[in-house]
Amino acid sequence: MHIPVIEGTSPEWAGWAGRWHVTSPLTPKVRAIIRTIVAKPGRWLAAEHPGITGPGQWTRETCAAWVAAAGRMAVGDYVQRRDHLHGRAGKPVSPRTKAHMLMATRTFFRDCREWEWFPRRSGPSRALAVPRSAGALISTDPRVIADDVRAKLLHAGLNIEAADLPGTSAGSYYPMDLIRALTLTWLFSGLRSDGISRLRTGCIRWQHDGMPIPGDSREILAADAVCLLDIPVNKTGTAFTKPAGPIIGQAIKAWQAQRPAQPPRLDRKTSEHAGLLFSIRAHPAGKTCINRTIIPALCAKAGVPTAGVRGNITSHRARSTIASQLYNAKEPMTLFELQAWPGHQNPATTQHYAKITPNTLSKACTEAGYFARNVRTIEILLDRDAVTSGSAVGGEPWQYYDLGHGLCSYTFFEQCPHRMACAKCDFYTPKKSSKTQILEAKDNLQRMLATIPLTDDERAAVDDGKDALDALLGRLADIPTPAGATPRELGTAPAPTLLPIIDVRQGKPQ
């Protein structure tokens, strides 16, 4: 693996970065990424603090200055190559990129300190921590594929043919059974591309009603059988077994029947020789074939672009999409079940995929009855005769709130504390009175609806019934009514019928 020479830093800093790179036990790819990022503070030191050339010279003040510089950094600052920026130069760096820069710097300083390459000073975990202002902008945001695009990709994958692939991929190099099994595994298994490329031969097992099905069974019913997929050691955990769709098992079984004999390959992650499933001529096909061949072919067949507002369609986006769908399903997985399905060791990793969709949140609010419990829809009767004749100007009532057991002519009814337990004040007209019957019988009566928010006591009266209503009446006994007198001054009267809460959507009492 070619490692480019670090430029733009002092030779001492480049030497520290190279020494860390050859000593760190991390994977080659991660070591190369951190080495590239660690070169940025080296270039920043050369420009702003040329007297500091090694990590042992950093103080708490130097760490604070670097954290501030990372917070104000723009795309293209302190980089060695600029040909890959494509017009993004000068734009502010995203909060997640700032966090990654500080994480790489913390890792570098932590390792150098633990290896006693320089005396211990302030801990990097605190001195180089991500600022709260940047951390607050980093949230769960799985890059899911839109439902319509995914539906088209699924249809294209289920019907993929040799003509859909480049001439060098189908027939002449990769057998079609391998392509079909690789495509369906990516679409339905939710595995990383590295995990797919490292699947072993014989990785599928079948069960029916909890009992294993013999491997040579020729009839496997998709509706009855469960396919179990053995996943090797992965990025975040040990080997495990997960359920997979029967369609994956059938495709893998078809490829295994046609797979030519090949010598075992060295698995660099486990340092063991194993027979890789998606391999041809002893060369694994999964990791690069998905992004470079299969996804472009599926997009072309489905008539969808390979990139959208969320970026390019990559192998990992199918994993994010499936995990999010499992979390937002009609019978969703719990967080711990979802953690076991992709093979995460830490629940915090799973939470990056567990983002509730607006549809799921809306459904949960509707089922909880939050809006119905907090808002009452009440019918308003308008006496148009009183308005047109001018009697309303003289003080005659013209607007009536239908309480179910009577009418209230108080204009500011929504502010009245007695609206759920109406005292017999001058504004109240019982339904049994002739005035109410005459008012409701008018031909030109106009009806409207108003939403009235309910207090905690009023909601308790609706939910708990008579005891809560009696308690409400007791608290309102000395509160003046709109007419001026209190219920205690008006004298005790039989408790009125409790006002029903009307469903705003259906207009029916609950």
Among the three residues 135, 162, 184, which one is the final residue of a domain in this structure? 135
Say if residue 106 is in the same domain as residue 172. no
The residue with greater pLDDT, 251 or 3, is 251
Residue 498 placed within a domain: no
Co-location of 395 and 295 in the same domain? no
- In the prediction, which pLDDT does 255 show? 94
- Domain end (from 86, 103, 135): 135
Residue 307 lies in a domain: yes
Number of domains in the chain: 3
Instruction: Spell 244-260 as b/e; 16+ CB within 10 A means b.
Output: bbbbbbbbbbebeeebe
Say yes or no: 451 and 323 in one domain: no
- Specify if 5 maps to a domain: no
Domain presence at residue 458: yes
> Does residue 507 lie in a domain region?
no
Q: Provide φ and ψ at 5, rounded to 5°.
A: -75, 135
DSSP classification of residue 170: B
Residue 508 falls inside a structural domain:
no
Better-scored residue on pLDDT, 13 or 328: 13
Task: Looking at the structure, tell me whether residues 95 and 170 fall in a common domain.
Answer: no
CATH of the domain at 178: 1.10.443.10
- Looking at the domain assignment, is residue 319 inside a domain? yes
Average pLDDT, the chain: 82
Q: What is the pLDDT of residue 297?
A: 92
Q: Are residues 193 and 326 in the same domain?
A: yes
156 in the same domain as 120: no
295-302 contacts at long range (C-beta below 8 A, 24 or more positions apart) = 297/160, 297/164, 297/165, 297/166, 297/169, 298/153, 298/156, 298/157, 298/160, 298/164, 298/183, 299/153, 299/156, 300/164, 301/156, 301/159, 301/160, 301/164, 302/149, 302/152, 302/153, 302/155, 302/156
The pLDDT of residue 486? 84
- 313 lies in the same domain as 195: yes
Average pLDDT (53-67) is 93
Q: What is the pLDDT of residues 411-465, one digit of tens each?
A: 888 788 887 677 678 788 777 776 666 666 665 666 666 777 777 777 776 666 6
Q: Is residue 140 part of a domain?
A: no
If asked whether residues 352 and 455 sit together in one domain, one would say: no
Same structural domain for residues 390 and 454? yes
Q: Which residue has the tokens 């953690």?
A: 339
Rg of the chain over all Cα atoms, to the nearest angstrom: 35
The domain boundary, picked from 359, 386, 411, lies at: 359
User: Which residues on adjacent β-strands are paired with residue 449?
Assistant: 379
Instruction: Name which residue leads in pLDDT, 85 or 1.
Output: 85
| Position with higher pLDDT, 103 vs 491 | 103
Query: Are residues 276 and 155 both part of a single domain?
Result: yes
- Where is mean pLDDT largest: 184-198, 215-229, 325-339, 349-363? 184-198
- Do 260 and 315 have their domain in common? yes
Both 152 and 249 in a single domain?
A: yes
- If you search the block for the tokens 């719990």, which residue do you land on? 334
Domain limits for position 482: 370-490
